[in-house]
Amino acid sequence: MTMDRAMWLDRIGAQLNRLATEIEALGEVLCADPELMQRNLTTLQAIDAIAQQQNCLARIVTAEAMEQAVAECSFAELKERLLAA
């Protein structure tokens, strides 16, 4: 079976969402250790930012109106990178 572009984008979006969920779960496990969390706050925030960006990308690639989805992306740095020519 040959898949069209929309089907591929839906599958890619689903995988991005799955990975974001796994990253968020990893962050939660790491945050459960107060000492580790204190020592690695910046790194844990970076992990959260990666998950947020993956969720935005998933919404964008699965949107019928990708440009609108980019405009609605809540992660400003990602939005700026996507809109840069």
63-73 pLDDT tens trace: 999 999 999 99
Contacts of 71 (CB under 8 A, 6+ apart): 79
Please check the confidence at residue 85 and state whether its pLDDT lies above 70.
no
Please check the confidence at residue 1 and state whether its pLDDT lies above 90.
no
Residues 16, 54 contacting (CB under 8 angstroms): yes
Q: Is 1 buried (19+), middle (13-18) or exposed (0-12) by CB count in 10 A?
A: exposed
Q: What is the pTM of this model?
A: 0.85
Local confidence band at 2 (pLDDT 50, 70, 90 cut-offs) = confident
